[in-house]
Structure 1
Amino acid sequence: MKNLKIGLLSILVTFVLACSPDLDYVDNSEINPTLFPQSESDIEALVIGSYYPLRGSWANGIHSTSERGLMFMLDATTEILQGPYGIQQVQTLHSYNPTSSDITRFYDDFYNKISEMTLNIAAIEGSSANDNLRKRGIAEIKCARALLSYELFDMYGPFVVAPLEILQNPLAEEPLAKLTNAEMVSFIEQDLLDAAEDLPSPSEADYGRFSQGMARMILIRLYLHEKRWEDVETQANEIIAMGYYELEDDYVGLWDVEAPVESKEVIFSVPADGDGTSENQWQLMVLPSNYPNRGGFGTIQSSWAFYDSFEASDIRKTNLIAEYEGTDEIIYNRSNPGTFLQLGPLPLKIAEDADRDTDLTTVDIILYRYADVLLSKAEALANKTNVPTQEAIDLINIVRERAQIDPIELADYADIDTFNTMILLERSHEYWCENGQYRSDLIRHGKYTEYANDLNGAASQSADYKALFPFSLSKISEGKGLFIQNSGYN
C-alpha cells in the first residue's frame, strides 16, 4: 500500500511539473525506446501509472466513492441507493440520455486510458529488461486494462479499442467502429487469462496490487455477464483451489478504520488516504449535515424497500442507519424522516470514522471479496442446468452463516426462477455499496427495469434498452458514422 501511494504521488508530481509554463515541453513519442523503459524503476513507473485511473479520486479516479465514481452511480440505478436530486435522481429514475454528461463522462474520460496501457505494454515488450520484470509488468498492466475495459463494457456495451498500429501513428486521423460483442469479450478475456499466468499468487502480491486471484475474479464477472456458467464455475474453482482465501468472521469489521491488509477475504482493495491521492469520500456523501460527531452533504440515501428486504438478524444491514439523533436533538427515523431519511436509511456501509481530520477517510475501498466467488459459483451451478443443487445451496449458506441468519433449504428453491430471485437478493445484501455490480446482476436476470418500476412507480422512466448507458453526442460525432449510438437513444 505504501509503495502504491508513493507511486501515485510521483505521478501527480510529474503531472504538475509537466503543466509548468517554465519548463520545456517534452514529446513522449520522441523518447528513445532503446533507453526507456529498461530498468526495474522504469517498468514500475509504467505499471503504477496503470493503477492511476483505477484509484478513488473525485477528479479522475473511476472508483471514487462520490457521484463521479462507479459504485455510487451504478447502485443508484437499483433499490440499494436512491437520489433525492441531481444526477443521483436521474440514475434512480433511469432518466439518463445522451446529454447526461455525468453518465457519458465515464467513457469519455477513461477509454483513452486503455490506449495508454496498450502503448505501455508494447514499450515493455520491446525493452531489454530481464524476462521476469517484463512478464510481471505486462501482467499487471493487462489486468488493469481488462478491469477498466470490463467496467466500461458493463456500462456501455462494446466500444472502440484502438489497435497498436493506429496508436503508434497518432497524427493519422482514422475513425474506428466499436468492436462486436464477441470481439470485446475476447479482448478482455485474453488480457485476464494472460495476466493470471504471470501475476503473483495472492500470498505473494502486495496489498493494493493485482494478483492471480484478482484476474480470475474479473474473469468470473465477465463470464457472469455473458452467462457462461461453466466458465464461471471453472474460475471459481481455480480461486478456491488456491487455498488462500476465506471469509472473515466479522463482516462489518471489513470496513473499519484499519485497512484490511491482512484479510484473506479481500481479493482487491483500492487503498485510500486522507491527502487526496486516492480518497474515500463516502461519509461525506452519505451523512447529512446534522449527523452527530461529524456530518456531510447527505447526497444519497438507500430505500426503505431495500432495508425491509433484510432478515431481522442479518448483520449486513448494521450500517444502514435507520435512526439517529441529530445535532438539533431531534430523533430522525422512518416516522420522522425530515429531509434526511425520506427515501430510506443512510447507506453508510463503512466505519463512521468520526475522528478523521478531514472530510476524507482512510477507510480503504474494497472492490472484490471471496464471498463473491462463493455466490458466483452457486449461481453458475444452478443455472448451467437450470436445476438448483444442494452444492449451490451449501455455498450460499456459508455466506448466510457469517451474516448470522438461518440457512436456506433446497426444497424451498428447487426451481430456477425462485433460486435466481433468492440469489439476487443475497447478492444485494452482501455487496451493497461496494463495486456497483448488483446492477449487472439485475440485468443478467432480466430484472433491471422491473425492479426500477416497482421501486419508483409512475415516476420511473426505465426501459429495456436502458440496460446500457448512452455514449455522448460528441463521441458519436467524432466517429463520422462508424461509431453508432446504443439502441434506443437516437
Structure 2
Amino acid sequence: MKSYINKSIILLVFIGIIACEKRLDEEVFSELAPSTLFTSEKGIKSVLNAAYAYAHRPGLQDSWSSYHLASMTTGEVWGQGGSIENLWISEIDFTWDGNHDHIRAQWTIYFNSIRDANIVLDNLDNEAFSEEFKQLTEAEVHFLRGWDYSELYNLFGPVPLYKTSTDDPLLLRASESEVQEFIEQELLTAISTLPVQAPALGRASKGAAMAVLCKYYLNTKQWENAANMAEDIIDLGVYELLPDYGQVFSIANEGNNELIWVLPKDGTSPTASQAIDALVFPPDYPRPYPNNTVFAARTYLYDDFVNSFDANDQRKNYIITEYVSTNTGEVVPGLGNDRSFPYKIEFDPGSVGATAGNDIPAIRYADILLSRAEALNEISGPTQPAIDLINEVRNRAGIDDLTLSGFTKESLRETLLQERAWELFFEGKRREDMIRQGVFISDAVSRGKSAQDYHRLFPIPQVELDANPGLIQNTGY
C-alpha cells in the first residue's frame, strides 16, 4: 500500500499532525531529527498521538464521511446542495465506486493510524523507557489497531494485515478468519492491560477496548461473546445513562459517563475539528452564535422517521421540524416536506466558521445496553433481562416500558432495530445495524434503489488498487 512506502514522508506527517488533539496533552517535537524521534518517551508519544489523531477521523471530510456512508446509504437521512451533493447522490442511489471521496478517506485514515501505531510498537524495546510507559503504550497500540481494523473490516471486509512497520507495502488481502482473529486478539490484549480510566479524553481505556470488541462481536453475530462482553462493561460500574438525553451530546458536558469511546475534536484546528452541522443547516437558519457558518449543503430527516417517535419521546426534541428564516422572517416548515434537521450536535460557541469542536461519540453506554439485549434475544429469544435492558433506554427517553408477553424472537429483533434507530439516529450506526439484521439491501430495494448484495461492502479505493496490483477488488465492483 502506497502509504507505507516512504518513511521520510511519514516523519513529516508526524510533525504536521501531532498538534491535532489538545486533550491528549502532547508536545510538539519539530526540533527532533528522525534519528532521535524514537529514542525518548516524548518522541514515542508524539508518534502515538499521530496514530490517535488518524483514528479520531481528522479533518473535515474524514469526520463527516463516516456519518454519510452510514446514514445516506440506509435511508436514515438525505441531502442536497453544494459541491458535496453528487457524493451524496451516489450514496443514496447505490451508485458509488472506488473513486468515491468518502470511501477513499476512510481507507486512508485508518491505515495511516495503523502505520503509525506499528512504528510505535516496533520502537518500544528501549532500555531508557520505563516499564510502565512501555506497558501502557503497547496496550494503546493494540487498542488502536483493533479499532482501526474493526472499522476497516466493517467497511471493506478482509483487508491487508500490516503488523509491523517493515511489512511489505504490497501485502495482499488477508483471509476472513485471519482478520477476525487479529481484531479479537488485539482488543483482548488491550483489555488485559489498559486502565479503567483513560489517561486523557480520547485515549484508550479498558472500557473503550471492551466496547469496540463488544460491537465487533455483535456485528459478526458472535452473540454469546457479544452478550458476555456487554455484561462485563456493565459490571465495570463506571458508565451510566445520563438522566437527560440531550446532556449526552452537550459541549458543556463532554467526557460524561455515558460516553465510552469518544473522538475528540478542536474547533480551532482545521485538522482536528469537525463540520457536521455546517452540512446540516441551510444558510438562512438562525444560528445561535455569529461565528457559526454553514455550507450550501443541507441534511434532512424523512417525515416517516420523525413521525415514528412516540409523542412523549424526549429524543424527538433533538430534531428541528421548522425554523424562522433569517432572510424572510417567515416560518420554513420541515416536517411535511421530508426536511427536518437532526440536531444532536449543537452549534459550537467556540467554532471558527464551519469548523466545530464538538466531540463525536463513537460508542456510548446506551448502545451497549441495546447490544446486550439484541444478543440475548438472538441466543434464546425474548427474555425479561433483554426487555429490562431495552426499558432502561426507553425510560430515559420518557416512553412506556415494553412487556415480555407477545414477543417472538423475530418481532423483538424488529423492535430492537427500531429502538436503535430512535436512540442512535445520526450517530453513524444505521448501516451496520441494518446489515447485521439482514435488511440493508432489501430496505434499499423497497425504496427503489438498485442495491445488490455486494453493496454490503464498499469497494477498495481505486488509487489503492493502482498502487498495489495484487489487491483484489470486492466482488461486484
Contact preservation (8 Å) 2:268, 2:356:
no
Post-superposition offset of 1:397: 0.2
1:437 aligns with 2:422: no
Compared CA separation, residues 55 and 404, structure 1 to 2 (3 A): same
Identify the match of residue 74 of structure 1 among 43, 46, 70. 70
Post-superposition offset of 1:186: 1.0
**What is aligned with 1:143?**
143
Report the Cα distance in structure 2 between the residues aligned to 1:210 and 1:47, rounded to whole angstroms. 12
Instruction: Give the superposed CA RMSD.
Output: 2.5
Contact preservation (8 Å) 1:8, 1:49:
no
**What is aligned with 1:464?**
453
Q: Superposed, which structure 2 residues align to 1:473-488 within 5 Å?
A: 473-480=462-469, 482-488=470-476
**What is aligned with 1:178?**
173
Q: Which one-letter code corresponds to 1:446 in the other structure? A: G
**What is aligned with 2:44?**
43
Report the Cα distance in structure 2 between the residues aligned to 1:90 and 1:254, rounded to whole angstroms. 32
Contact preservation (8 Å) 2:77, 2:300:
yes
Query: What SS does structure 2 have at the residue aligned with 1:384?
Result: helix
Post-superposition offset of 1:284: 1.0
Post-superposition offset of 1:365: 1.6
Post-superposition offset of 1:44: 2.2
Instruction: Give CA-to-partner distance per residue, 1:438-469, whole Å, 9 cap, x none.
Output: 21110011110122233x32xx1211110000
Q: Which one-letter code corresponds to 2:420 in the other structure? A: R
**What is aligned with 1:450?**
442
Contact preservation (8 Å) 1:51, 1:144:
yes
Q: Superposed, which structure 2 residues align to 1:67-466 within 5 Å?
A: 69-84=65-80, 85-126=85-126, 128-164=128-164, 167-168=165-166, 175-202=170-197, 205-261=199-255, 263-276=256-269, 277-293=271-287, 296-297=294-295, 298-327=297-326, 328-334=328-334, 342-353=337-348, 356=351, 358-385=353-380, 387-413=381-407, 415-434=408-427, 436-454=428-446, 456-457=447-448, 460-466=449-455
Post-superposition offset of 1:163: 4.2
Contact preservation (8 Å) 2:59, 2:274:
no
Contact preservation (8 Å) 1:185, 1:222:
no
Q: Which one-letter code corresponds to 2:432 in the other structure? A: S
Report the Cα distance in structure 2 between the residues aligned to 1:462 and 1:364, rounded to whole angstroms. 33
Query: What SS does structure 2 have at the residue aligned with 1:253?
Result: helix
Contact preservation (8 Å) 2:24, 2:203:
no
Report the Cα distance in structure 2 between the residues aligned to 1:163 and 1:356, rounded to whole angstroms. 38
Instruction: Give CA-to-partner distance per residue, 1:170-201, whole Å, 9 cap, x none.
Output: 6xxx6322111111111111111111111111
Instruction: Give CA-to-partner distance per residue, 1:351-404, whole Å, 9 cap, x none.
Output: 23467553333322221111111111101111023x111110110000000000
Instruction: Give CA-to-partner distance per residue, 1:195-236, whole Å, 9 cap, x none.
Output: 11111113x642222100000000011101210011011111
Contact preservation (8 Å) 2:268, 2:357:
no
Query: What SS does structure 2 have at the residue aligned with 1:82?
Result: strand
TM-score normalised by the chain length of structure 2: 0.87
Contact preservation (8 Å) 1:287, 1:348:
no
Contact preservation (8 Å) 1:220, 1:232:
yes
Structure 1 residue runs without a partner (length 5+): 19-25
Contact preservation (8 Å) 2:110, 2:149:
no
Q: Which one-letter code corresponds to 1:76 in the other structure? A: M
Q: Which one-letter code corresponds to 1:218 in the other structure? A: V
Compared CA separation, residues 293 and 407, structure 1 to 2 (3 A): same
Query: What SS does structure 1 have at the residue aligned with 2:162?
Result: coil
Contact preservation (8 Å) 2:146, 2:184:
yes
Q: Which one-letter code corresponds to 2:135 in the other structure? A: K
Instruction: Give CA-to-partner distance per residue, 1:18-54, whole Å, 9 cap, x none.
Output: 9xxxxxxx6x4xx3xxx66454323322321221102
Query: What SS does structure 2 have at the residue aligned with 1:300?
Result: strand
**What is aligned with 1:22?**
none
Q: Which one-letter code corresponds to 1:168 in the other structure? A: T
Contact preservation (8 Å) 1:322, 1:333:
yes
Between the two proteins, what is the percent identity of the paired residues?
A: 29
Query: What SS does structure 1 have at the residue aligned with 2:244?
Result: coil
Contact preservation (8 Å) 1:8, 1:48:
no
Report the Cα distance in structure 2 between the residues aligned to 1:129 and 1:471, rounded to whole angstroms. 39
Report the Cα distance in structure 1 between the residues aligned to 2:188 and 2:167, rounded to whole angstroms. 28
